[in-house]
């Protein structure tokens, strides 16, 4: 057996077992079983913010709107139509044929109760950014509601199509109290209107969903096909791959690059590499927050930009569908343009710029990172060729985030996934509006982002975001690096299509 096919003793044995004995595939009992290494203890989306709950939530709950993953168009889901009344008010007409999993009828009361509950900071929603833009909701009639914003926020449509799901109006009062007598909203029943209903949950082990046979017709999510979906926690990645090979697992992801290549070579399962919304970037201290670093000189920042072969890193280390990006956003996000200044790999030019900046012999600097050490080590190798000695300070994410916020990381390589929000406001506006992560601090960039963030006219938004993104790159505040990818492995019996927002839509999957 070739070395690249050896995934570990357990997996090799599993592959042998697969060939030696019959196994019960998911198609045979109409059950799709998928897994990650993380545990699920609470199945309520507003009170658990893991990726697993994001996925489960999109299956068990519906939203007022649905973002089509192919076209990025916002389509009515629980709503039949919507309109902006003004820049802080949205109005929705609601469907009249929807029932919750417990048989109760959906109407405006459920929308109002949900949004008034989650927008109240006293109720402890975990990911505050998902609801902090919202003042609440008002009932206009049984099937008509008004959603009120705290301030102009056109990206509200993205949140209303994603994390802000609708619950039954009376459900919040059923929460149990914790030891301190405070309401624990993570204890409410997982009842939604979605294409699947949660029928069993074993905290830390599994969550079972069964098809909602009464799911509304005409939903942009479509009619679900697979009868049962089971999420299981399998703490070891190699054990997941072994189960995939033996047929007791139907779908896994986050497979390491080398293991994915080996699985693909075996040919027993489908292996796909797909892009994700996560990007890598290098930030340089244009604002001189750390006081006196070389990065206050534009030519130094330009030298770094020309010194690194980003295409080679994307191709050789990240692999698959990774691509170089030139703008401080993910290409599909609303308002993202790649029509900005671009910096080609040119080490001779980089060395010349460094000399012109007053550093003919280069300099020594710390570079901070937290993810994929080998990517940053490659960056260090390229910088060394032009005379910059970069010392790697590899930290846990929270520790590095703290240093960044304190202005003590003038040169760092980090990543951002935008919380799967397909809008520039979820990334560029986060980093360049003079907040804790902003090492650029440019007033004109901030001004243009504020225009884009607060105007409901798409043309005005796109124009403002383009000016801001050009400004970021003209100032070389960031060096956008590349997009991340994710390796999926799944049964050959499964018809499944990955999407860049990293939300597997099993409700659109089917057995071949």
pLDDT in tens, 290-341: 999 999 999 999 999 999 999 999 999 999 999 999 999 999 999 999 999 9
How many CA atoms lie less than 13 Å away from 445 in the CB half-sphere? Answer: 26
Assigned CATH for 276-486: 3.10.105.10
pLDDT at 26: 86
* Contact indicator for 212, 197 with CB cutoff of 8 Å: yes
Q: What is the DSSP string of 405-423?
A: HTT--SEEEEEE-GGG--B
Residue 232: which H helix or E strand, with range?
Answer: strand 228-233
Task: Say which residues have a Cβ less than 8 Å from residue 77's Cβ, sequence separation at least 6.
Answer: 62, 63, 64, 65, 66, 161, 219, 220, 221
Residue ranges, comma separated, of all CATH 3.10.105.10 domains in the chain are 276-486
In whole angstroms, how far apart are CA 306 and each of 45, 136, 264, 354, 478? 43, 48, 36, 11, 13
Architecture of the domain made up of 39-233:
3-Layer(aba) Sandwich (3.40)
> How far is residue 473's CA from residue 236's CA, in Å, rounded to a whole number?
41
Residue with tokens 């003793």: 9
* Contact indicator for 328, 473 with CB cutoff of 8 Å: yes
pLDDT at 20: 34
pLDDT at 419: 84
> How far is residue 190's CA from residue 174's CA, in Å, rounded to a whole number?
12
Residue ranges, comma separated, of all CATH 3.40.190.10 domains in the chain are 39-233
pLDDT at 17: 38
Give the residue ranges of the chain where pLDDT is below 70: 1-25
* Contact indicator for 335, 451 with CB cutoff of 8 Å: no
170 burial via Cβ count (<10 Å: 0-12, 13-18, 19+): exposed
- Residue 254, both tokens: 């986050």
* Contact indicator for 274, 486 with CB cutoff of 8 Å: yes
181 burial via Cβ count (<10 Å: 0-12, 13-18, 19+): exposed
pLDDT at 184: 96
CA angle 253, 46, 199 (to 5 degrees): 65
């Amino acid at each position: 057996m070739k070395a690249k096919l050896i995934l570990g003793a357990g997996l090799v044995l599993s592959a042998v077992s697969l060939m030696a004995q019959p196994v019960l595939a998911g198609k045979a009992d109409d059950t799709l079983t998928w897994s990650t290494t993380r545990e699920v203890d609470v199945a309520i989306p507003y009170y658990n913010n893991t990726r697993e709950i994001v996925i489960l939530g999109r299956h068990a709950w519906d939203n007022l709107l649905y973002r089509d993953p192919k076209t990025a168009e916002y389509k009515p889901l629980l709503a039949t139509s919507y309109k902006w009344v003004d820049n802080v008010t949205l109005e929705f007409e609601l469907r009249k044929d929807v029932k919750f999993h417990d048989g109760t009828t959906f109407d405006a009361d459920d929308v109002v109760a949900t949004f008034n509950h989650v927008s109240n900071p006293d109720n402890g929603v975990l990911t505050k950014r998902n609801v902090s833009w919202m003042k609440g909701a008002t009932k206009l009639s049984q099937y008509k509601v008004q959603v009120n914003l705290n301030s102009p926020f056109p990206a509200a449509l993205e949140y209303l199509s994603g994390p802000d799901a609708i619950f039954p109006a009376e459900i919040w009062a059923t929460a149990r109290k914790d030891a301190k007598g405070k309401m624990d909203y993570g204890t409410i029943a997982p009842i939604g209107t979605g294409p699947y209903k949660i029928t069993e949950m074993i905290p830390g082990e599994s969550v079972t969903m069964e098809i909602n046979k009464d799911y509304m017709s005409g939903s942009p999510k479509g009619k679900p096909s697979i009868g049962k979906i089971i999420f299981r926690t399998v703490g070891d990645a190699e054990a997941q791959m072994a189960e995939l090979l033996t047929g007791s697992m139907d779908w896994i992801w986050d497979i390491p690059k080398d293991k994915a290549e080996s699985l693909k070579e075996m040919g027993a399962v489908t292996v796909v590499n797909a892009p994700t919304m996560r990007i890598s970037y290098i930030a340089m201290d244009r604002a001189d927050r750390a006081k006196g670093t070389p990065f206050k000189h534009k030519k130094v920042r330009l030298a770094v930009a020309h010194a690194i072969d980003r295409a080679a890193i994307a191709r050789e280390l990240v692999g698959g569908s990774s691509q170089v990006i030139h703008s401080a956003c993910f290409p599909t996000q609303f308002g993202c343009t790649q029509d900005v200044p671009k910096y080609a790999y040119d080490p001779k030019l980089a060395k010349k710029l460094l000399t012109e900046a007053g550093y003919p012999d280069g300099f020594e600097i710390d570079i901070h990172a937290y993810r994929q050490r080998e990517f940053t080590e490659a960056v260090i190798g390229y910088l060394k060729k032009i005379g910059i000695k970069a010392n790697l300070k590899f930290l846990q994410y929270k520790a590095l985030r703290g240093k960044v916020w304190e202005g003590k990381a003038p040169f760092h390589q980090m990543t951002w996934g935008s919380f799967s929000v397909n809008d520039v406001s979820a990334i560029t506006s986060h980093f360049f509006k003079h907040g804790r992560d902003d090492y650029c601090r440019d007033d004109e960039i901030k001004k243009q982002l504020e225009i884009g963030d607060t105007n409901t006219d798409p043309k005005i938004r796109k124009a403002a975001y383009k000016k801001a993104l050009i400004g970021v790159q003209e100032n070389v505040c960031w060096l956008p690096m590349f997009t991340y990818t994710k390796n999926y492995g799944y049964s050959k019996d499964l018809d499944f299509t990955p999407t860049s927002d990293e939300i597997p839509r099993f409700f659109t999957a089917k057995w071949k």
